[in-house]
């Protein structure tokens, strides 16, 4: 799964490089290396440091969208996920049609896949799996991401992952 994420992110970096007319090629190379090593924030920082690129917010947005799209694409069931167009979140709905007694093991595995890809420990899944409707919306944070979730027997597990 990690190899697929690295490949998608490398393509995103190369696309951005060609869109900028090739300027800052050595910075792009360093960013690609950072992505290969899993240092996504370093890659975004390098890309934003290119002096002749005047739209660093858009570039960061592209990098965030690329990262989240890569994570979702590499998951078991990407169809239960939505990535915000501005790259600010991934939303997962394990029961998209709110069908009573609906269960899809692939959707549940997708939550675990995304937890792992974003660097959350296995304890997060345990907390999610133990959530009851009575508990309301729960949250958990890492250094880079915040995830909030709720569970209801009729609606399934709904999770929202946001970059800090």
DSSP string, 13-45: HHHHHHHTTTTTHHHHHHHHHHHHTT-HHHHHH
- 10 Å CB burial of residue 130 (0-12, 13-18, 19+) is exposed
Instruction: Identify whether residues 49 and 98 lie together within a single domain.
Output: no
User: What confidence score (pLDDT) does residue 135 get?
Assistant: 97
Measured distance CA(64)–CA(163) in Å, rounded: 8
Higher-confidence residue of 14 and 24: namely: 24
pTM of the shown model? 0.69
Under 8 Å between Cβ of 77 and 104: yes
* SS3 (DSSP) at 101: coil
Could you tell me if 50 and 84 lie in one domain?
Answer: no
Regarding predicted confidence, which is higher, 51 or 156? 156
Please tell me the total count of domains within the chain.
Answer: 2
* pLDDT class of 118 with cuts at 50, 70, 90: very high
What tokens does 36 get? 């290969």
pLDDT at 21: 47
Q: Are 111 and 94 in a shared domain?
A: yes
What is the domain extent for residue 96?
79-163
Q: How does pLDDT run across 56-98, given as a tens digit for each residue? A: 545 566 677 778 888 898 888 999 999 998 888 999 999 998 8
Using DSSP's 3-state secondary structure scheme, residue 162 falls into strand
Q: Report the range out of 15-29, 91-105, 125-139 with the highest average pLDDT.
A: 125-139
**What is the C-alpha separation between 82 and 91, in angstroms, rounded?**
5
């Amino acid at each position: 799964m990690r190899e697929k994420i690295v490949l998608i992110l490398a393509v995103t970096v190369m696309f951005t490089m060609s869109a900028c007319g090739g300027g800052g090629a050595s910075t792009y190379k360093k960013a690609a290396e950072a992505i290969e090593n899993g240092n996504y924030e370093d890659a975004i920082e390098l890309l934003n440091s290119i002096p002749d690129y005047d739209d660093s917010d858009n570039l960061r947005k592209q990098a965030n969208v690329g990262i989240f799209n890569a994570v979702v694409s590499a998951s078991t069931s990407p169809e239960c996920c939505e990535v915000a167009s501005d790259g600010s979140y991934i939303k997962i709905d394990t029961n998209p049609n709110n069908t009573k007694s609906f269960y899809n093991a692939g959707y549940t595995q997708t939550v675990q896949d995304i937890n792992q890809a974003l660097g959350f420990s296995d304890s997060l899944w345990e907390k999610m799996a133990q959530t009851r409707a009575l508990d309301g919306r729960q949250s958990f944070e890492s250094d880079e991401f915040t995830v909030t979730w709720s569970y209801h027997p009729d609606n399934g597990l709904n999770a929202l992952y946001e970059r800090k």
